[in-house]
């Protein structure tokens, strides 16, 4: 089934305790569409870049069968830019700079072929733009997922809540779940967020895995313990791309299948952090994905022996 995604396609400057990159390709939609492309052909991308964005990268995305018909290229303007610095624990980071540039007055226009998409992943960007995408769809998709971050909670909470009220699945990190709900307990936070609209909530906890909430049910997937984590940027978006890629490929919205989607999201995210930016994500083979899926199964499988 068809998958549409909207989000930033951007330049990032990243500093981790282990390295530094001044200007590399990033952006939520870049990570989402690359991750999803391992599950689905013809992922439909909606975004905007300036004329400073490298054509080779766009060609690479096209080669992975990602449709760029919904990508606007603005002559004489600069692409979205974000700079972040990770703490020594590699889980926490500070945003050093956010330059909206082309995003400041972005009006997304969905090509006709995008308007019947059955699965939609609203990647992290201006809530009003996420809403504009939903408004242009011909009918309600089978599932709409949404990612966002504290930046939008601080600057556009009202329009953010309006979009949240329209989505089925919300994916955010633990600090953002606490900020959005005003609750410290993640279980309480989940219930507050369900009252805002979504039926499913995925809380990403970085190297501590991800939680899936639905009604009274909870599922937990650990992150794969890795020898080296080079750059966590984009791990959350990669998770979302793997998660929605699997759902769109299978077309199955049962809770059991959502659990598989969480595992696939975690598998793809575990690759993302192994190199800077999108480098690792660009070069995966299906064999590598399958082997890592097996490692997840071994990591989490155990048999029980009850006390007599």
Chain residues binding ligand AMP by CB under 6 A are: 8, 10, 12, 26-28, 82, 98, 124-125, 149, 151, 233-237
Q: How far is the CB of 157 from ligand AMP (least distance, A)?
A: 14
Q: How far is the CB of 194 from ligand AMP (least distance, A)?
A: 23
Q: Which is nearer to ligand AMP, 125 or 164 (CB)?
A: 125
Q: How far is the CB of 73 from ligand AMP (least distance, A)?
A: 17
Q: Which is nearer to ligand AMP, 82 or 200 (CB)?
A: 82
Three-class SS state of 287: helix
Q: Which is nearer to ligand AMP, 2 or 102 (CB)?
A: 102
Region class of 211: left (phi > 0), else alpha (psi between -120 and 50), else beta: beta
Q: How far is CA 93 from the centre of its chain?
A: 17
Determine the Cα–Cα distance for residues 276 and 204; give it in Å rounded to an integer.
Answer: 20
Cβ atoms of 78 and 48 within 8 Å: the answer is no
Residue nearest to ligand AMP (CB): 26
Q: How far is CA 163 from CA 49, 122, 190, in A?
A: 23, 10, 17
Region class of 182: left (phi > 0), else alpha (psi between -120 and 50), else beta: left
How many CB atoms are located within 10 Å of the residue 194 CB? Answer: 17
Give the DSSP letter of residue 138: S
Q: Which is nearer to ligand AMP, 228 or 287 (CB)?
A: 228
Q: How far is the CB of 160 from ligand AMP (least distance, A)?
A: 12
How many CB atoms are located within 10 Å of the residue 75 CB? Answer: 6
Q: How far is the CB of 238 from ligand AMP (least distance, A)?
A: 7
Q: How many residues does the chain have?
A: 308
Q: Which is nearer to ligand AMP, 37 or 233 (CB)?
A: 233
Q: How far is the CB of 137 from ligand AMP (least distance, A)?
A: 21
Q: How far is the CB of 3 from ligand AMP (least distance, A)?
A: 18
Residue 80 CB partners (closer than 8 Å, separation 6+): 8, 9, 10, 11, 27, 48, 49, 99, 100, 101, 102, 103
Q: Which is nearer to ligand AMP, 65 or 95 (CB)?
A: 95
Q: Which is nearer to ligand AMP, 3 or 125 (CB)?
A: 125
């Amino acid at each position: 089934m068809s998958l549409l995604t909207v989000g930033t396609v951007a330049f990032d400057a990243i500093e981790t305790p282990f390295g530094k990159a001044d200007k590399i390709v990033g952006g939520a939609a870049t990570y989402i569409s690359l991750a999803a492309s391992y599950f689905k052909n013809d992922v439909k991308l909606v975004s905007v870049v300036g004329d400073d964005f490298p054509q080779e990268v766009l060609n690479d995305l096209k080669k992975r069968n990602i449709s760029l018909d919904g990508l606007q290229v603005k002559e004489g303007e600069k692409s979205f830019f974000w700079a972040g610095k990770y703490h020594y624990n590699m889980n926490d980071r500070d945003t050093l700079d956010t330059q909206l540039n082309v995003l400041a007055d972005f009006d997304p226009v969905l090509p006709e072929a995008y308007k019947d998409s059955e699965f939609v992943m609203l990647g992290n960007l201006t809530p009003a733009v996420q809403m504009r995408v939903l408004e242009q769809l011909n009918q309600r998709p089978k599932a709409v997922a949404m990612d966002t971050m504290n930046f939008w909670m601080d600057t556009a909470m009202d329009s953010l809540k309006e979009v949240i009220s329209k989505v089925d699945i919300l994916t955010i990190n633990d600090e953002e779940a606490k900020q959005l709900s005003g609750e410290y307990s993640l279980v309480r936070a989940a219930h507050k967020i369900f009252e805002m609209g979504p039926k499913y909530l995925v809380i990403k906890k970085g190297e501590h895995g991800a939680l899936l909430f639905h009604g009274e049910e909870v599922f937990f997937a650990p992150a794969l313990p890795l020898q080296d984590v080079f750059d966590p940027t984009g791990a959350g978006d990669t998770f979302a791309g793997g998660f929605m890629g699997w759902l769109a490929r299978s077309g199955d919205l049962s809770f059991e299948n959502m659990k598989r989607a969480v595992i696939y999201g975690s598998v793809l995210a575990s690759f993302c952090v192994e190199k800077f930016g999108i480098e690792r994500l660009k070069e995966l083979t299906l064999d590598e994905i399958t082997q890592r899926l097996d490692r997840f199964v071994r990591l989490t499988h155990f048999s029980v022996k009850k006390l007599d």
